[in-house]
Structure formats: structure tokens, C-alpha cells
Amino acid sequence: MEYDQERFVLRNARHLAADYMMRSIREGDAVIDATMGNGKDTLFLCGLVGKNGHVYAFDVQAEAVERTRERVREAGYAERTTLLLAGHETMGDHVRGPVQAVMFNLGWLPGAEHAVTTKTDTTLKAVDAALELIAPGGIVTVCVYPGHEEGMRELEALRTYVSELSVRTFNVLYHSFVNASLQTPRLFLIQRNK
Ligand SMILES: C[S@@+](CC[C@H](N)C(=O)[O-])C[C@H]1O[C@@H](n2cnc3c(N)ncnc32)[C@H](O)[C@@H]1O
């Protein structure tokens, strides 16, 4: 049966993260893409913040930074980006907050060696740093891929970490497609409420 794609709200974790970003970000905001990769999310965020906003983006692979640089240059968005060849766990050293949103898409660079994947230890440090940087009302989204070993570790560690956040300061939502395989990507959404 045909259906209207616009009304198909439960596609996948990345899609949900993008939906929340669209609802949260306004023209002129500063935001962070914590995992640049091929630059698709950086480009998407550039569109949301507009010409007066700014996107800080991080990756540890020079290849990711170069692919992203090319993508944003072609779109005419270079001036609204700062692309950093640095681990997201150092974001507090590079960005002076507050920012409206921080987007994490964990795992490895699509189309490259799987050797460089995000790691539980640095992911937790980075989410912690992100929560320090977001403005009241700001959000952090984290897409996690438990289909590989390190991704499963990240998922377990993040679940523990977010469930211990003070409910007075943060609202946390965990999205899991409960009738799908255990390997299906999950999404955490964290909002600072004051
Ligand atoms: C799934 S990809 C991101 C996809 C990207 N958002 C896109 O739109 O194409 C995950 C990226 O995280 C990067 N990464 C791994 N460890 C990192 C770290 N400590 N800090 C920042 N990026 C890291 C990898 O190099 C990889 O490019």
C-alpha cells in the first residue's frame, strides 16, 4: 500500500535524531556535530543554523574532516563551520558554550576501515562534556549501534550513565524498537531542563 513518507515517523534512530534536531534548532544557533564522518549530519546542521549560526564538528580521522570540508564547501556553508581534527571528548577545550544541540552518531566512518570506531571510554567523556555545554532547553542526541562488540559496550555504558543523571536537570528518553532485532540502532535523547 502507498503511504505518505512525510507521515512515516518511526523509520530509524538516525531519522528520529534528525527530527528532534529540526524541532530544537533555530536560525542563528551554535551546535556541535560530535562525529563528523562523511559530513552528512554536519551539512544537515548547517542548513538548520542558517547563515548566522555555527556548527562545530569533530572527528579523529583526517579523511573524515577532508570529506566533510569538501561537502560543506560545495554547499556554500564553509563559513558557518569549524571542522576540528580532534576527539569529541575534548569538545570543552574547543567550544565555548552554550550550544543548543550536540549530535552523536557513533560507530565507524561509512565506507572506510572499521578499525577507527568510537570507544566507550571516550564516548562517555564526550557526552559528559556535551552536557556541560548545552544551554537550558538544549538537547543531545546519541545514536548507538549495538550490532558490533564495542557498540554493545557503548550502549550498556550509556544506559547506566544516563539513568544516573539528575532528573532535576535533565530529561532523558531512550528509543528502542522493541519488536526489532537486538542489533537495531538505538537513540538516546537528553534535554537540559534548566
Ligand atoms: C558513524 S560515523 C559518523 C557519520 C557522520 N555523522 C555522517 O553524517 O556521515 C562515526 C565517526 O566517528 C568518528 N570517531 C571515532 N572516534 C571519535 C572521537 N573520539 N571523536 C570524534 N569522532 C570520532 C569516526 O572516525 C567516524 O568518522
CATH code (residue 149): 3.40.50.150
Whole-model pTM: value is 0.96
Closest ligand 1 atom number to CA of residue 143 = 1
User: Which residues partner with 84 through β-bridges?
Assistant: 58
Angle between helices 62-75 and 40-49 in degrees, nearest 10: 40
Measured CA to CA, the distance from residue 193 to residue 190 in angstroms comes to 9
Closest ligand 1 atom number to CA of residue 37 = 27
- Protein residue with its CA nearest to atom 23 in ligand 1: 59
Cα separations (Å) of 179 from 1, 5, 10, 79, 83?
Answer: 22, 21, 13, 43, 38
Cell 580521522 found at:
61
The tens place of each residue's pLDDT in the chain, 194 residues long, gives 666 777 788 889 999 999 999 999 999 999 999 999 999 999 999 999 999 999 999 999 999 999 999 999 999 999 999 999 999 999 999 999 999 999 999 999 877 766 789 999 999 999 999 999 999 999 999 999 999 999 999 999 999 999 999 999 999 999 999 999 999 999 999 999 98
Range of the domain at 108: 5-192
Measured CA to CA, the distance from residue 151 to residue 108 in angstroms comes to 10
Structural domains counted in the chain: 1
